[in-house]
């Protein structure tokens, strides 16, 4: 027995030493101490020995077995630590690497982008933002704006009425927010109101839902010159060029007197082979409108303007067809949309943001 242990010992210990993985060490353990293992075999042999010899041999065998078990445990621990270290080294994150480009980032819709651009500029010019409901009543959308029931201007704005209710409608213009503002706030008033508007219309330049932004300034000495100066400054900032001309063409809106359509000339118009581009409606708020909101026209006066946000977006970013805005085509949005980082805020402004990064 002693001899057998002497020959087995170096074999088992070498096998333990040279095992390179946890699987290998387990194999060594099974070969030595498993059911049919070499050491287990010797243990079985003890039973056939004479009692006095068995005692001595048993002692040696037990010492050997304990040694093997201790060695296996130690080797297992060493291998586990080594494997863990190797994994840690492999999976370690190099925080100094540059970040991957954000290929999965969504896009900001050009309408949202342009709305933010417009609000940012007006915000910087001292305007507050106002809002009104999409489902409007007859008073705010028409009546208070000096458009009585039989007025032909109602026909020009083909209206969606709520079913069975001629008094609730989808607002045809954001001008109603003028009324809501003057009903609740005393002058000085200086607001812009962006939002959705609706008319029964559908072709390359009309969709049943579109977007407008309304402006209203009411004070005691506000004049057309202020309107022109404000719009001029706005156009320069929005279209990011000083090469801008502004022309006021006499027009008619029931809620302004005098009324104008403002056209822009300069670089923007030349770019698309035109001398002038019709951009928005505006004028001095009609005395009847002031009266309808409880303001004395002898004390207060001011200007208003209203324009299509979609149209501004098309002009600035060269978008040819209005219908694309609302078709939810991912290819379109990928092409014309913006990264969230391009959206200006009141604090970083338009000019500081580097303006139109897409061109
Ligand atoms: N609400 C008009 C429209 O939808 C646009 C407009 C014209 C708004 C003149 C105004 C304005 O505030 O003064 O066609």
Per-residue pLDDT of the chain (359 residues; tens, 9 = 90+): 788 888 988 999 999 999 999 999 999 999 999 999 999 998 888 888 888 888 888 889 899 999 999 999 999 999 999 889 988 888 888 889 888 776 677 899 999 999 999 999 999 999 999 999 999 999 999 999 999 888 887 877 789 999 888 789 999 999 999 999 999 999 999 999 999 999 998 887 889 999 999 999 999 999 999 999 999 999 999 999 999 999 999 999 999 999 999 999 999 899 889 999 999 999 999 999 999 999 999 999 999 999 999 999 999 999 988 889 999 999 999 999 998 888 887 665 554 333 333 33
Which pTM value belongs to this model?
0.71
CB of 159 within 6 A of ligand 1: the answer is no
CB of 282 within 6 A of ligand 1: the answer is yes
CB of 292 within 6 A of ligand 1: the answer is no
Question: For ligand 1, what atom is nearest to the CA of residue 256?
Answer: 13
Q: Which CATH class is domain 110-352?
A: alpha beta
CB of 281 within 6 A of ligand 1: the answer is yes
Question: For ligand 1, what atom is nearest to the CA of residue 216?
Answer: 12
Pick the residue whose CA is nearest to atom 12 on ligand 1: 305
Is the separation of the CB atoms in 75 and 24 below 8 Å? no
Where in the chain are the domains? 2-91, 110-352
Question: For ligand 1, what atom is nearest to the CA of residue 175?
Answer: 1
Pick the residue whose CA is nearest to atom 13 on ligand 1: 282
Q: Is 195 left (phi over 0), alpha (psi -120 to 50) or beta?
A: left
């Amino acid at each position: 027995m002693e001899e057998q242990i002497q020959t087995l010992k170096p074999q088992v210990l070498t096998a333990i030493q040279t095992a390179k993985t946890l699987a290998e060490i387990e194999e060594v353990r099974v070969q030595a101490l498993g059911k049919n293992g070499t050491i287990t075999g010797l243990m079985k042999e003890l039973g056939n020995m004479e009692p006095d010899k068995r005692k001595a041999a048993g002692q040696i065998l037990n010492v050997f077995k304990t040694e093997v078990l201790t060695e296996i445990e130690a080797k297992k621990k060493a291998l586990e630590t080594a494997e863990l270290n190797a994994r840690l080294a492999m999976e370690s994150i190099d925080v100094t690497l540059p970040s991957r480009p954000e290929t999965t980032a969504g896009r900001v819709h050009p309408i949202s982008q342009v709305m933010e651009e417009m609000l940012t500029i007006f915000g910087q010019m001292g305007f507050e933002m106002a809002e009104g409901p999409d489902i409007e009543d007859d008073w705010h959308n028409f009546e208070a704006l000096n458009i009585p029931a039989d007025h032909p201007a109602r026909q020009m704005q083909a209206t969606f009425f709520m079913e069975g209710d001629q008094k609730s409608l989808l607002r045809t213009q954001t001008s109603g927010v003028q009324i809501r503002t003057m009903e609740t706030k005393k002058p000085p008033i200086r607001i812009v109101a962006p939002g959705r508007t609706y008319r029964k219309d559908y072709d390359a330049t009309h969709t049943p839902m579109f977007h407008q932004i309304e402006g209203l300034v009411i004070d005691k000495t506000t004049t057309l010159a202020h309107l022109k100066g404000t719009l001029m400054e706005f156009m320069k900032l929005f279209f990011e060029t000083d090469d801008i001309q502004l022309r006021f063409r006499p027009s008619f809106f029931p809620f302004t007197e005098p009324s104008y359509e403002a056209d822009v000339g300069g670089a923007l118009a030349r770019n698309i082979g035109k001398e002038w581009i019709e951009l928005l409606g505006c004028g001095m708020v009609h005395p009847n409108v002031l009266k309808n909101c409880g303001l004395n026209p002898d004390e207060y006066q001011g200007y208003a303007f209203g324009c299509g946000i979609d149209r501004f977006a098309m002009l600035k970013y060269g978008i040819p067809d209005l219908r694309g805005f609302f078709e939810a085509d991912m290819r379109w949005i990928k092409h014309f949309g913006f990264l969230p980082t391009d959206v200006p805020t009141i604090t970083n402004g338009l000019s500081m943001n580097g303006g139109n990064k897409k061109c």
